[in-house]
Structure 1
Amino acid sequence: MTEAFSEIQETFDFLDDWEDRYRHVIELGKSYAALDPALRVDTLKVEGCASQVWLLPRLEDGRFSFQGASDALIVSGLIAILAALYNDTSLAEARKIDALAEFGALGFDQHLSAQRSNGLRAMIERIATYLATQ
């Protein structure tokens, strides 16, 4: 697990109610270095999301990372959390990550709408598919 994701976990542990947690997710999305608009093309679009989502995964020098973007603030925050979980991990480490379990441990399994849960699963599946082909 990355240090960035551990910091998000600590913040979630500190924040008691979900309104505060959602505000934090939105702030994470606002501060996330989103994918350049010129790269938001159909081939990078994630199907299964209610909002528009693009993910650009890459493997450089044996380290996995991705950039993403969304037109929805909360989804941008979810992308930022996924990036904190995955970015700058080795390929072997990235393949071992159970992102749904990590999001569940943060409480998202009980606090995301069905549409957002489906979108989150679609993003995680896109990442897993990429990792499986490397």
Structure 2
Amino acid sequence: MNFKKFDLINADFEFLENWEDRYSYIIDLGREMPKLEESLKSEYNKLSGCASQVWLILGTYKKDGVERLSFLGDSDALIVKGLIAIVGSIYDNMPLSDISNVDPYKMFESLELLGHLSSQRANGLNSMIKKIQDFPNVQIC
């Protein structure tokens, strides 16, 4: 599996000396993400279990005969939008068949991220991951 985007984020995290700088970096990741069109910010795309408003849009496309995940997300909170960017760096463009083989929590350990999130932010992150991990099963049915 290819995690180039995540590996770049991980390398940047290692370079940053403290969590204040890392939080700023996460916020910058959020600022760099494109905004969703307002028409996509529907209740259907809204993720429950998050303190902030979060919208995730998951879809599929075929490349080289392989069904892959397309991932769009947005939030009204920049730090959450940055977390969406980190999650997207893991899953966007991933073959659907690989999604269940990825342990994002192990990847987050390399960032030491989970221990530095509030319980509400951690719950939101868990909701994002659950939606993504459940997505291939929904598509197969």
Scaled to the shorter chain, the TM-score interval is: over 0.9
Shift >3 Å, 4+ stretches? none
What corresponds to 1:74 in structure 2?
79
Residue by residue over 1:50-74, the C-alpha shift from the partner in whole angstroms, topping out at 9 and shown as x without a partner, is 0000100011001112101100010
Whole-Å separation in 2 of the counterparts to 1:131 and 1:100: 19
Structure 1 gaps of 5+ residues are: none
What displacement does 1:16 show? 1.6
Q: What are the within-5 Å matches in structure 2 for residues 16-55 of structure 1?
A: 16-55=17-56
Q: Name the aligned partner's letter for residue 55 of structure 2.
A: W
Q: Name the aligned partner's letter for residue 86 of structure 1.
A: Y
Task: Tell me the percent identity.
Answer: 42
Q: What are the within-5 Å matches in structure 2 for residues 114-125 of structure 1?
A: 114-125=119-130
CA contact (8 A) 1:29 1:77 kept: yes
What displacement does 1:133 show? 2.1
Q: What is the TM-score when the length of structure 1 is the normalising length?
A: 0.94
Whole-Å separation in 1 of the counterparts to 2:77 and 2:84: 10
1:107 aligns with 2:108: no
Q: Indicate the SS of the match to 1:11.
A: helix
Structure 2 gaps of 5+ residues are: none
Largest Rg, 1 or 2: 2
Whole-Å separation in 2 of the counterparts to 1:97 and 1:31: 25
Alignment root-mean-square deviation, CA: 1.2
Residue by residue over 1:3-26, the C-alpha shift from the partner in whole angstroms, topping out at 9 and shown as x without a partner, is 111100110111121011111000
Q: Name the aligned partner's letter for residue 33 of structure 2.
A: Y
What corresponds to 1:128 in structure 2?
133
Q: Indicate the SS of the match to 1:34.
A: coil
CA contact (8 A) 1:2 1:89 kept: no
Q: What is the TM-score when the length of structure 2 is the normalising length?
A: 0.90
Residue by residue over 1:78-105, the C-alpha shift from the partner in whole angstroms, topping out at 9 and shown as x without a partner, is 0011111111111122221212221232
